[in-house]
Amino acid sequence: MTRGPTGKELEAVAPRRRTFLVRLCNLLYLLTTRWDFQLMLRARRILLAQMLPRKAANLSVYSDVVLADYRHLAVGDNVTINRGCHLSASGGLVIGNDVAIGHGTSILTTEHGYSDPAIPIAEQPAIFKPVTIGSNVWIGAQVCVLAGVSIADGTVIGAGSVVSRSVTDPDTIVAGVPARFIKERVDRPAIRQRKPKARKK
């Protein structure tokens, strides 16, 4: 089995130039986003290989997925993006290998400035903050990942969560609004104290 790219390799991927071919592929991608039968899934995979900065092996993107500013989106191998997701990559978005993103999830890399009370918030400049998602991550349905967040390898994020702070410890489960640590995802017998079994009399 060939390994996918490391996080550092993905972060080093340069944005795709907006050539005529890339623009054409983007237009065709938009025309295929309503359907999920195998021909459309295959067509999207081929088009995204031309649109994204890096060709990702075994990338599955389902219907109604919005990829805003896809030129700044670096994706690893074996990634699934389910129906109705919105990925904003303007500030830089890196997704590692073996990542599953549940339907209706939003990943944001920009936010409105709001510090000047004399200017309407909608007219204040956007703030760009990159998001990095590690490898072997499962993001549940209807999750919102806010700008500037990093998610460690092996993280599971519960459905409906809002991730406003980075998840720095690998192999953990987080959930809630805002998302908080729930428990470790894997058994760690070296650090976990097991209760002795009661002996039968």
Alpha-carbon gap, residue 80 to 138, rounded angstroms: 10
**Structure token digits, residue 180:** 């908080």
Whether 38 is in a domain gets the answer: no
Asked if 24 and 30 touch (Cβ cutoff 8 Å), the reply is no
Give the H or E element holding residue 45: helix 38-51
Look over the chain and give the mean of its residue pLDDT values, rounded to a whole number. 88
Q: Provide the pLDDT for residue 189.
A: 59
Is 77's pLDDT higher than 90?
yes
Q: Provide the pLDDT for residue 138.
A: 97
Alpha-carbon gap, residue 175 to 130, rounded angstroms: 21
Beta bridge partners of 151: 133, 167
- Residue that is written with structure tokens 């944005």 in the block: 15
Whether 95 is in a domain gets the answer: yes
Domain membership of residue 75 as a residue range: 56-113+124-182
Q: CB atoms < 10 A from the CB of 15, how many?
A: 15
Q: Provide the pLDDT for residue 118.
A: 92
Tell me the CATH number at 145: 2.160.10.10
Whether 90 is in a domain gets the answer: yes
Whether 66 is in a domain gets the answer: yes
User: Among 171, 170, 145, which residue's Cα sits nearest to residue 160?
Assistant: 145
CA 85 to chain centre: 10
**Structure token digits, residue 37:** 């039968």
pTM of the model: 0.84
- Residue 12 confidence class, pLDDT cut points 50, 70, 90: low
Give the H or E element holding residue 11: helix 7-11
Whether 132 is in a domain gets the answer: yes
- Residue 122 confidence class, pLDDT cut points 50, 70, 90: confident
pLDDT in tens, 144-158: 999 999 999 999 999
Q: What is the 8-class DSSP label of residue 19?
A: -
Give the chain's domain count: 1
Weakest mean pLDDT among 12-26, 112-126, 168-182: 12-26
Q: Which of 72, 86, 103, 112 is catalytic?
A: 112
pLDDT in tens, 37-54: 899 999 999 999 999 988
Alpha-carbon gap, residue 9 to 114, rounded angstroms: 34
112 catalytic? Reply is: yes
- Residue that is written with structure tokens 């938009």 in the block: 30
Mean of the pLDDT values across residues 56-81?
A: 94
